[in-house]
Chains A and B, each alone.
Chain A
Amino acid sequence: MSRSQLSSTPKKRRTRETAILSLLAVLIVAMFIISMNTGLIRLSPTEVIHTLLGEGSQQQKLILFDFRLPRIVISLLVGAGFAVAGCILQSLSRNALAEPSTLGINAGAGFAVLIFISFVPATTAAPIFMLPLMALAGAGLTATLIYVLAFRREDGLSPTRLILIGIAVGAGIYAFQLILSLRLDPENYQFVATWLAGKIWGGDWRFVMALLPWILILVPFAFYKARVLNVLNLGDEIPAGLGLPVERERVLLMAAAVALAGSCVAVSGGIGFVGLIAPHLARRIVGPRHQILLPACALVGALLLLTADTIARWILQPSEIPTGIVVAIIGAPYFLYLLARSKA
């Protein structure tokens, strides 16, 4: 490799990375406008822009600001949150198939929320801020349980064992969810079933406000730890040799991922696969450096979930299907494709 190549590579790479991130941002804006248009009452792009600038009619303002916009914002936040959480978990466990839902963390968060809903009506104001906390507690307990069960003194945290135990714990929690949900009255049940299937609640800025702090703190925190993730991704010995407190960093990052997944589950129910697919796509586009991989993940995840949510609202108008179902129907085949292609 010549000297000129060496010096020009980082610069070229930076240009390329900037271009990719900008392209993703442009795609999100485009999807944003399409999503604003989608729904029972159609608004043309110009009407959307006019309304956003404050010149629309009363009805247009109501539809955009009170119904569509909060839901779109939540899709973006949840997509980014799950994607970053998935990326952290994949790097920590060195397992390309790890994500909050395969590891049972979503199930744990969902179960805690379900317990809460069974005893406190979901319509009052207090629960909205309580729900993310409940979900966090559920996700945290589940993650601790899985970590404890998968950790062995001889060989540490085996990626294989981690994922198998995650699947088992998820299956167990699912059984308990069924028991609990059978005791609800039919109306509450329909709500819970739809929510567990992964429906973006939307319709309410309070949910945005409940979720936003978590995303605003934890996603930048992950970006800040990008270098640590790069090193941890190499295995246990190398980071320890470099003087990194491996166990502390791992627990810290794991906690961040679990908290992200938990707070996202609280407002979006059981949406799986975003945390799996977004990191894969992002890695394919920008490579394994976490400094660029994590932002790319966040953007891909946001784009993915906004697209899925738009499809969910559009495909069967006037009724709609939960977003989680759309994501699973797109995501599971992709997962199987990855599984078939990957070498053991």
Chain B
Amino acid sequence: MVTSTHSQSRTHPEGEKQLKSRPAAAVVILIAGLGAILFGLALSVSVGAADIRLASVWEAVFRFNPELPQHQVIRELRIPRALAGALVGACFAVAGAIMQGMTRNPLADSGLLGLNAGASVGLALAFAFAPSMSFIYIMLYCFIGAAAASLLVFGIGSLSHSGLTPLRLTLAGAAVSALLLAISQGVAILFHLSQDIAFWMAGGIGGTSWTQLRIMFPWVAAALIGSLMISRSITLLSLGRDVAAGLGQRTRLVQTAGILIVVVLAGAAVSAVGPIAFIGLIIPHVTRFLVGVDYRWIIPCSAVLGSVLIIFADIAARMINAPYETPLGALIAVIGVPFFIYLASKRKGGLT
């Protein structure tokens, strides 16, 4: 395997032992992860304001009785919520993995680099100008916003003399986020949408409906399949553009495809549940630690682990301060901020 022999100096400056690919570990993660997802989905459906036995969940799915309110709750509220968690967890995690691989930047994440803020501008504009707009248009607005943000951030990178070091990319992301956040705040205040948007900005999957899921699913599925298709090229890019080009990769094409996939994943996830940051930062790191450097394994394992994280975080968000829900975005930030600080302080000078 090509990847196991090359050193990945940027991403793993000190971890010689991490330079291998570990397919066996990856297979274990995929199988155990899918088991955890199924268990998490069942648990997520049964935990909430009204506790529901797992047996009733089973009945509601396979012997649905529209007369029973409990079955209604399960079908219309709990199941879409649990599925949305699984879906957006995979979206954010895979988006982060692709960004980290392509930019060879350990601090890349759709939240930190402004893509989530871009999607938020799209959503604020959609709310402001067409409040009763169908979800598909809201999602398309979010795509446009996320695309604009990624153009800004990566544009700055290509303009600068010395390329995108992690520090500069993070700063560019912070500035783009601040700019886009200011624009969406302005729109929200002008149109008196503040609190509506704030609920959604805090990140929560409570209100997700079947309609939303149906609309976003084909996009997300296509983007996830696309990410698997380019995963080998991402591995090569993560070794450096020169290496990738030397091995016959059409790096421009791969990068364009990668950015498009990231825009769709982040845009769709943000349109459904709000700008949740740090998942795309944490999960790929954990995954790389477990399965090694080959993105053919990193990407599917990130998707699975991202789903697991969100499903269980959402269960925790409902239980911590019941009957109130803790915003999911804040909960993830509680894990994400120390993780980011750990990553930032682990390396000396490696970031400039």
- List chain A positions with a Cβ less than 8 A from chain B: 97, 101-102, 149-150, 152, 154-155, 158, 160-161, 163-165, 167-169, 171-172, 174-176, 178-179, 181-182, 186, 189-190, 193-194, 197, 272-273, 316, 319, 321-322, 324-325, 328-329, 332-333, 335-336, 339-344
Question: Which of B168, B333, B344 has the most chain A CB atoms inside 10 A of its CB?
Answer: B344
Structural contact, A197 and B112, CB atoms closer than 8 A: no
Check B198 for interface membership: any CB of A closer than 8 A. Answer: yes
List CB contacts (< 8 Å) of B129-156 with chain A.
Answer: 152, 156
How far, in angstroms, from A326 to B341 measured CA to CA in the complex?
A: 31
B201→A332 contact, CB < 8 A: no
Q: Which residues of B contact A (CB under 8 A)?
A: 107, 111-112, 152, 156, 159-163, 165, 167-168, 170-172, 174-176, 178-179, 181-183, 185-186, 188-190, 192, 194-195, 198-199, 201-202, 277-278, 326-327, 329-330, 333-334, 336-337, 340-341, 344-345, 348-349, 351-352
- Determine which of A97, A175, A328 lies in contact with B178 in the assembled complex, contact meaning CB atoms within 8 Å: A328
List, in ascending order, chain A residues with CB within 8 A of B186's CB. Answer: 197, 321-322, 325, 329
- The verdict on A344 contacting B352 (CB below 8 Å), with A161-B345, A164-B170, A190-B192 known, is yes
Complex CA–CA separation, A168 to B186 (angstroms): 24
Select the residue from B171, B326, B340 with max chain A CB neighbours within 10 A: B171
Chain B residues within an 8 Å CB radius of A341: 160-161
Give me 22 A-to-B residue pairs in the complex whose CB atoms sit less than 8 angstroms apart, sorted by A's number: A102-B171, A158-B349, A163-B167, A164-B340, A168-B340, A168-B341, A172-B336, A175-B329, A175-B330, A178-B198, A179-B330, A182-B327, A189-B195, A193-B189, A272-B178, A321-B189, A325-B186, A332-B179, A333-B179, A339-B175, A342-B160, A344-B165
Residues of A within 8 A of B278 (CB): 171
Complex contacts, B340 vs chain A, CB 8 Å: 164, 168, 171
B279 CB → nearest A CB, Å: 13
- In the complex, the answer to whether B182 meets A324 with C-beta atoms within 8 Å is yes
CB distance from A344 to the nearest CB of B (A): 4
Bound CA span A171–B178, Å: 11
Contact, CB under 8 Å: B162 / A343:
yes
- With a CB–CB cut-off of 8 A, which chain A residues contact B171? 97, 102, 163, 167, 335, 339
| Cβ–Cβ < 8 Å partners of A325 in chain B | 182-183, 185-186
* Residue contact A181 to B351, C-beta cutoff 8 Å: no
B195 cross-chain contacts in A, Cβ below 8 A: 182, 186, 189-190, 193
State whether B351 touches A175 (Cβ < 8 A). no
User: Is there contact, CB below 8 Å, between B327 and A179?
Assistant: yes
What CA separation (Å) do A154 and B349 show in the bound complex? 12
Chain B residue nearest to A183 (CB atoms) is B324
A178 touches B201 (CB 8 A): yes
CA distance A341 to B345 in the complex (A): 26
Q: Which 5 A-B pairs have the closest CB atoms?
A: A332-B179, A328-B182, A175-B333, A172-B337, A164-B344
Distance in angstroms from A261 CB to nearest chain B CB is 16
Q: Are A165 and B178 in contact (CB under 8 A)?
A: no
Chain A: CB-nearest residue to B158: A340
Of A158, A176, A344, the most chain B CB neighbours within 10 A belong to: A344
Which residues of chain B are within 8 angstroms of A193 by Cβ–Cβ distance? 185, 188-189, 194-195, 198
Partner of B330, one of A150, A154, A178: A178
* Residues of chain B contacted by A335 (CB below 8 angstroms): 171, 175
Known contacts: A325-B182, A329-B179. The answer to whether A182 contacts B199 by CB under 8 A is yes
Q: How far is the CA of A150 from the CA of B201 in the complex (A)?
A: 29
Cβ-defined contact, B159 with A340, below 8 A: yes
Q: How far is the CA of A194 from the CA of B198 in the complex (A)?
A: 12
Does B198 contact A328, Cβ atoms closer than 8 Å? no
Task: Please name all residues of chain A whose beta carbon is closer than 8 Å to the beta carbon of B326 when the two chains form the complex.
Answer: 179
Given contacts A149-B345, A164-B170, A340-B159, 8 further A-B contacts (CB under 8 A): A179-B202, A179-B327, A190-B192, A325-B183, A332-B176, A335-B171, A336-B152, A341-B161
Least distance between B162 CB and chain A CB atoms (Å): 4
Asked if B341 and A329 sit within 8 Å, CB to CB, the answer is no
Contact A168 B344 (CB under 8 A): yes
Complex Cα distance, B344 from A332, in Å, reads 23
Q: Is the CB of B162 within 8 A of A171?
A: no
Interchain nearest-CB distance for A28 vs B (Å)? 25
| Residues B160 and A339 in contact, CB atoms below 8 Å apart | yes
- Closest partner residue, chain A, to B159 (CB atom): A340
* Residue of chain A at shortest CB distance from B162: A344
* CB-defined contacts of A169 to chain B, threshold 8 Å: 337, 341
Give the nearest-CB partner of A180 in chain B.
B330
- The answer to whether residues A340 and B160 also contact, given A193-B188, A272-B178 and a CB cut-off of 8 A, is yes
User: What is the CA–CA distance of A101 and B171 in the complex, to the nearest angstrom?
Assistant: 12
User: Which residues does chain B contribute within 8 Å of A344, judged by CB atoms?
Assistant: 161-163, 165, 167-168, 352
A335 to B349, CA, bound (A): 22
* A190 / chain B contacts, CB cutoff of 8 Å: 189, 192, 194-195
CB distance from B211 to the nearest CB of A (A): 25
CB-defined contacts of A178 to chain B, threshold 8 Å: 198, 201-202, 327, 329-330
Residues of A within 8 A of B168 (CB): 339, 344
Give chain A nearest CB distance to B127 CB in angstroms: 14
Q: CA A193 – CA B188 in complex, angstroms?
A: 9
- Residue on B nearest A334 in the bound complex, by CB: B175
B327 in contact with A164 (CB, 8 Å): no
A311 CB to nearest B CB, Å? 12
Contact: B194 with A176, CB < 8 Å? no
Q: Are A197 and B182 in contact (CB under 8 A)?
A: yes
